[in-house]
Structure 1
């Protein structure tokens, strides 16, 4: 009976979320940003109904618990990429019953693949023996080296006086940043600080939480990237939702994001603005769906790039004079130099079409399967927090870029070597016992 009510609550939460996104788009985002591509072509009732059907099909196989890190990634992608990809194109495309329907079927298939990862029998993992204190010392040294690179490149200063003009901060950051310092920024903000927040929560250590949040704010004061400032809240929300070993993670996560959508609209109604909906809804939730539609339209009629700008450069000639994000930025937003960075599925289509979307999803399934296996004898909250930020990066970054640049590989290394006690909810032990071979410590 509890499972039935949880499923009903999940359906209601998703319905409210979809309604909130649509309301935010039609009443706040499109009126304020139609000049920037967020137009409203007033889709028909039938077009919107078909899109909503695609939204709800994954609920048929979904439940409301998340006992593996792969399920955390699944729900992040479902809420922040899949749902926007279903509903946003309706508003910017003239015909929503052309090849875009095939794209939606492919994305639905990819969501099913991702969800199946949570049912795979985990592989036994041999853990190299290393004392937790030694690993924590190595992490501290790693973090200090990252901070050394950051300070050497950007200096020690807080630019909060310029926070209202983040574009000046971003411009200054782009002028100073190099490849090494870029890696340092990403690894510190998306992996090390997230780890500190998770460990602080698990061990009830307020100092670690303070250091993690302070580190994020310091990096934001340099980069001007609002995603960095929001990431502290994002990680803490993920950790909060993971209480009781993820038993009610899905409901907490869905209703949390839904509440954020309506809260931001309420703030903008009171202030007669679109500032908050732009920051929290347009940038984080609507744009991934919009850009997927643009990537699909462009690379359906123009040559796909086959990773010729990346790892397959020696084997293929790149057909353009700009990288894909700048192509889309110039073509659809009419701004030279605008990088329209899109999600893993948009990048997959740009490279290999539908085969690229499915191929990169299969690769992600493999990555998550190995990560789940490593996490079987690790603290679930710590494992999930480590992979949450790299997973969030998939909302606007390719999978290949996220592996190293955004820290997926680093998350694997830390999770493997950092011995942490796995605390499991008794309900999980009784009803959802993980089947896996013996893991060696």
Structure 2
């Protein structure tokens, strides 16, 4: 049982405020502005919503309170961007009825508790004598790989540094989608590798060694990827990673309560600013994309596929073995159901993807693979500097908000991140203990 310290009480209080604020921002800002995407408000069943908040609070208590491993970091991100969204949003976003919304809340919260308990029992040390590459060699390897990817983008004619407005990116995304569909597919993988893993890893490891050439190259790479794809998260990863590095420098860290407080403040302040300006600035960039849409699309997937044929992963890992029941992928099918057009993709998370592929059983399957992924993360990051681990895993973890587990691993960066972190320099002992103690340097 968790001890009820001031931090835990504060965290629970923030979670209740967070649940209230998420409802308010959807009612007052998101639904009026994005109803054309199917994001229509429905009055929640207050009793069921209160039960869901209670379940979410219990799940919060059983999760990791302080960061002790890379898997803990992934679980923190997964809680707010997936579990909390799935547990709360379907109650007030039109898609499923109140009882189904409560069922989704229960599945999300219970599964999070089980995964956290299982992950907490794992202490893998699969490579006890492996010290990784030397810090200098590793940073230069990252720099060389980044430079090669930028050279490829330049030679292929896809290198650009004209940063478009953060709010006018739809045309850029469609253009990038066309370029990828007309090419060999290498560009899509390279963009994910550079923008989601290689750039953040270079930024983190170079920053820690005061290698400002490496830092500059990492920032240039992130700007180039954003200019090509309009992936806001790639552009915004630079300041977020720098904040992570500063927070964990000299052993300083944060608790889950502090994260909950920060998330609640951002949500409340962002909602207030958007209402005052009558523009969905914070709502579009952060709240809607990362905190609302995962839960909204999960409800839509359940509504759409409850009585419809399931994909059985025929549009992903089993495409060579299973015939697809539809002429397009689940992302485009759901997008068509919401908007009536075929150009909108509705990529969703583990719960939505699992249900579209095999119903409730599919959710269990994807959660089991997620648990195995957490084991791999913990095994590959033993004795690696924690701040660098969190920075490298940041965007793959965020991608869990809008991708099934197989896409998250194979396409959205986890596989690349695990390979890089396996090569990363290691200290002789755990670089950061449970309380955020001092690191042991290899240099």
**What TM-score results when the alignment is normalised by the length of structure 2?**
0.89
2:193 aligns to what SS in structure 1?
A: helix
- 1:399-418 matches, cutoff 5 A: 399-418=405-424
- 1:288-299 matches, cutoff 5 A: 288-299=294-305
Q: Which residue, out of 317, 322, 326, partners 1:320? A: 326
Match of 2:268 in 1: 262
Q: How big is each residue's C-alpha offset from its partner over 1:10-69, in whole Å with a ceiling of 9 and x where there is no partner?
A: 112222222221111111111222232221221232132122122212123235211111
Task: Give, in angstroms, the shift of residue 418 of structure 1.
Answer: 1.6
What is the CA RMSD across the aligned residues, in angstroms?
2.6
Q: Is the 8 A contact 2:87 2:104 kept in 1?
A: no
Q: Is the 8 A contact 1:114 1:365 kept in 2?
A: yes
Does the C-alpha gap of structure 1 residues 263 and 94 become closer, same or farther in structure 2, counting only changes over 3 Å? Answer: closer
Task: Provide the C-alpha distance between the structure 2 equivalents of 1:45 and 1:2, rounded to a whole number of angstroms.
Answer: 29
Task: Provide the C-alpha distance between the structure 2 equivalents of 1:218 and 1:162, rounded to a whole number of angstroms.
Answer: 14
Task: Give, in angstroms, the shift of residue 394 of structure 1.
Answer: 1.1
Task: Give, in angstroms, the shift of residue 388 of structure 1.
Answer: 2.0
Match of 2:90 in 1: 89
Q: Is the 8 A contact 1:245 1:381 kept in 2?
A: no
Does the C-alpha gap of structure 1 residues 267 and 125 become closer, same or farther in structure 2, counting only changes over 3 Å? Answer: same
| 1:284 aligned onto 2:290 | yes
Match of 1:125 in 2: 127
Task: Provide the C-alpha distance between the structure 2 equivalents of 1:119 and 1:342, rounded to a whole number of angstroms.
Answer: 29
| 1:423 aligned onto 2:431 | yes
Q: Is the 8 A contact 2:244 2:391 kept in 1?
A: yes
Does the C-alpha gap of structure 1 residues 336 and 94 become closer, same or farther in structure 2, counting only changes over 3 Å? Answer: closer
Task: Provide the C-alpha distance between the structure 2 equivalents of 1:199 and 1:293, rounded to a whole number of angstroms.
Answer: 40
Task: Provide the C-alpha distance between the structure 2 equivalents of 1:409 and 1:425, rounded to a whole number of angstroms.
Answer: 26
- 1:39-50 matches, cutoff 5 A: 39-50=40-51
Does the C-alpha gap of structure 1 residues 305 and 423 become closer, same or farther in structure 2, counting only changes over 3 Å? Answer: same
Q: How big is each residue's C-alpha offset from its partner over 1:202-252, in whole Å with a ceiling of 9 and x where there is no partner?
A: 335555444333322222122122222222234334445545657524233
Q: How big is each residue's C-alpha offset from its partner over 1:327-352, in whole Å with a ceiling of 9 and x where there is no partner?
A: 10011222222111111221111112
| 1:20 aligned onto 2:21 | yes
Q: Tell which deviates more after alignment, 155-164 or 318-327.
A: 155-164
Q: Is the 8 A contact 1:383 1:415 kept in 2?
A: yes
Task: Give, in angstroms, the shift of residue 295 of structure 1.
Answer: 0.8
Q: Is the 8 A contact 1:292 1:342 kept in 2?
A: yes
2:384 aligns to what SS in structure 1?
A: coil
| 1:344 aligned onto 2:373 | no
| 1:305 aligned onto 2:311 | yes
- 1:426-441 matches, cutoff 5 A: 427=435
Does the C-alpha gap of structure 1 residues 192 and 289 become closer, same or farther in structure 2, counting only changes over 3 Å? Answer: same
Q: Is the 8 A contact 2:64 2:116 kept in 1?
A: no
**What TM-score results when the alignment is normalised by the length of structure 1?**
0.89
For structure 1, the 5+ residue unaligned runs are 431-441
Task: Provide the C-alpha distance between the structure 2 equivalents of 1:18 and 1:71, rounded to a whole number of angstroms.
Answer: 23
Task: Provide the C-alpha distance between the structure 1 equivalents of 2:71 and 2:238, rounded to a whole number of angstroms.
Answer: 21
Q: Is the 8 A contact 1:299 1:350 kept in 2?
A: yes
- 1:49-60 matches, cutoff 5 A: 49-60=50-61
Match of 1:217 in 2: 223
Does the C-alpha gap of structure 1 residues 145 and 410 become closer, same or farther in structure 2, counting only changes over 3 Å? Answer: same
Task: Give, in angstroms, the shift of residue 88 of structure 1.
Answer: 1.2
Match of 2:441 in 1: none
Task: Provide the C-alpha distance between the structure 2 equivalents of 1:161 and 1:45, rounded to a whole number of angstroms.
Answer: 42
Does the C-alpha gap of structure 1 residues 53 and 209 become closer, same or farther in structure 2, counting only changes over 3 Å? Answer: same
Does the C-alpha gap of structure 1 residues 239 and 334 become closer, same or farther in structure 2, counting only changes over 3 Å? Answer: farther
Count of residues in Structure 1 that have an aligned counterpart in Structure 2: 430
Task: Give, in angstroms, the shift of residue 168 of structure 1.
Answer: 2.5
2:169 aligns to what SS in structure 1?
A: helix
Match of 1:203 in 2: 209
Task: Provide the C-alpha distance between the structure 1 equivalents of 2:43 and 2:193, rounded to a whole number of angstroms.
Answer: 42
| 1:154 aligned onto 2:184 | no
Q: Is the 8 A contact 1:113 1:362 kept in 2?
A: no
Does the C-alpha gap of structure 1 residues 293 and 264 become closer, same or farther in structure 2, counting only changes over 3 Å? Answer: same
Task: Provide the C-alpha distance between the structure 1 equivalents of 2:133 and 2:43, rounded to a whole number of angstroms.
Answer: 60
Does the C-alpha gap of structure 1 residues 48 and 336 become closer, same or farther in structure 2, counting only changes over 3 Å? Answer: same
Match of 1:439 in 2: none
Q: Is the 8 A contact 2:196 2:412 kept in 1?
A: yes
Q: Tell which deviates more after alignment, 197-206 or 145-154.
A: 197-206
Q: Which residue, out of 388, 399, 403, partners 1:397? A: 403
Task: Provide the C-alpha distance between the structure 2 equivalents of 1:11 and 1:190, rounded to a whole number of angstroms.
Answer: 32
Q: Is the 8 A contact 2:377 2:418 kept in 1?
A: yes
Task: Provide the C-alpha distance between the structure 2 equivalents of 1:247 and 1:377, rounded to a whole number of angstroms.
Answer: 17
Match of 1:80 in 2: 81
| 1:331 aligned onto 2:337 | yes
Task: Give, in angstroms, the shift of residue 94 of structure 1.
Answer: 7.5
Task: Provide the C-alpha distance between the structure 2 equivalents of 1:244 and 1:17, rounded to a whole number of angstroms.
Answer: 31
Task: Provide the C-alpha distance between the structure 2 equivalents of 1:111 and 1:162, rounded to a whole number of angstroms.
Answer: 37
For structure 2, the 5+ residue unaligned runs are 439-443
Q: Tell which deviates more after alignment, 331-340 or 261-270.
A: 261-270
